[in-house]
Structure 1
């Protein structure tokens, strides 16, 4: 039987019909902007359109923010405040006629990589998604780590620099504040001002810098851009080293838009992990790029969708 995975982000809703083998059969997109009622309406429309004409066993919403799993409710979502406090299972179940499960978006993406992507051959996986923010998910012994309330696995909000920049969560020096796309842009603007003759500095004088600009300039050989990415990679590695020591994973998979910088970020991260994590964990772990890209959230959410009986629709 098929399941529907819905990846709800700050700007868009992506819903996909997924087969038991992890094949994305159909996908649709709607905006996530607007008041709560409009958001619910668009999610329901996306679900119904994705599943039209097919047998669907259940739906899982992958949503950003801190979730109370028993209540199927988001209590804090800095990038999508309109979703906070809504009884999502009840509201969307009523609109779609399907059994609805709610999961954190990074947890769902982690599960997608574990079931169908880079981590499908391991039992112990740490997943990080580097975008505007930093999300994370942990799989231990083939089980998704959720914590006592369902709010576990917030790897992006581990402090790695006590006096670092303010994070969106209100803390200072979180991994998100040091190695996200937002952090890279902030550091790129600082370095552009320090090195106005660099390609990075010249571009910053012409227009607003974007994260992808830094990656492009690094590939073209600009030393300032390469330094920005290397610094982000060092901070990423400091965070990952801690995760390696705590979770002893076989693999750390890194996804998200920032990961498109590839070895400009991953190589310094790998060096830090070797310097800072402990044997035997550091000798086992591989740090690799995630493979599913933007599909990870939909695929992982679908794999977490449940029948009314509580069984996963896609098994596993």
Structure 2
């Protein structure tokens, strides 16, 4: 058997599992259950003849220090789930971390005391995490980074960044599944592309608020929705239009270095 570390990025539409050169993706969704995840991971280990020396899981939502999922909007069946209990018989070391926090750790592995930076991940919903003067920003109760709840006023109505920019909400707005939306965007469907570009612009406006408030050296942006055609261009337009001119430069915003693997790889740094 192959002794390996396993990194898992559990999201609202898919779960990514990485172990050495082995990698698999499986669909999730609102009705996805902890039992299904446990079965997928067990099958992955058996299929690739692995001996897990550690399992690290990046999970969306709020977690406590004991590994309990306190609140997960995009995967509600996981509220109250504890990975340590679920995988105690599979691996001697289990680590659980918020997915955006995991991505932050991976993206900014070399941190000095002067660094202020952040990461924004746009998938099913939107999340963020920040380092301020070399230290991770946690907030009073650990909730810092809930960027998806950032309010914007659009046509006289206050809406959340999640509902304006998150992939699940965009697909529902178009009456499509996320996959159908992505496929039509690649095919150049005009309405889909306009919707994506507008969402990117709104996210850029929200990011401008973060930049004007925190004055970061760099903000990295990732997630499947952010990679849709036209989304990135919308972000740049919305941000550059609204950031204080003295704070804007072309290197301020960038795409995450490790793409779709960033959260799983960040989680594995805990092992």
TM tier, shorter chain?
0.7 to 0.9
Contact 1:14 1:30 in 2 (8 A): yes
| Equivalence map 1:262-277=2 (5 Å) | 264-277=230-243
Match of 1:65 among 43, 61, 64: 61
1:16 alignment partner in structure 2: 18
Query: Would you tell me which structure has more strand in proportion to its own residues?
Result: 2
22, 29, 33: which one aligns with 1:26: 22
Question: How far off is 1:34 after superposition?
Answer: 5.8
Q: How does 1:83-232 map to 2 (within 5 A)?
A: 83-89=78-84, 91-92=85-86, 94-115=88-109, 123-161=115-153, 173-186=159-172, 188=174, 210-218=180-188, 222=190, 224-232=191-199
TM-score (norm 1): 0.68
Cα deviation digits, residues 73-121 of structure 1 (max 9, x gap): 11121222222112323x04522242222111222223333349xx9xx
* Alpha-carbon separation, structure 1, partners of 2:183 and 2:243: 32
The answer (yes or no) to whether the contact 2:57–2:97 under 8 Å persists in 1 is: yes
Offset at 1:157?
1.9
Q: Tell me what 2:215 maps to.
A: 248
Decide whether aligned partners of structure 1 residues 139 and 284 sit closer, same or farther in structure 2, where only a CA change above 3 A counts. farther
- Count matched residues: 265
CA displacement, residues 233-278 of structure 1 (integer Å, 9 cap, x when unaligned):
221111101111222222222222222235x333343233233223
Structure 1: 5+ residue stretches without partners: 18-23, 166-171, 190-203, 306-312
Residues 259 and 289 in structure 1, CA contact (< 8 A), matched pair in contact too: no
> 2:57 touches 2:95 (CA, 8 Å); kept in 1?
yes
Change (3 A) 1:50 1:86: farther
Residue segments in structure 2 that go unaligned for 5+ positions in a row:
none
Q: Counterparts in 2 of 1:258-297, with a 5 A limit?
A: 258-261=225-228, 264-283=230-249, 286-297=252-263
Report the TM-score, using the length of structure 2 for normalisation: 0.77
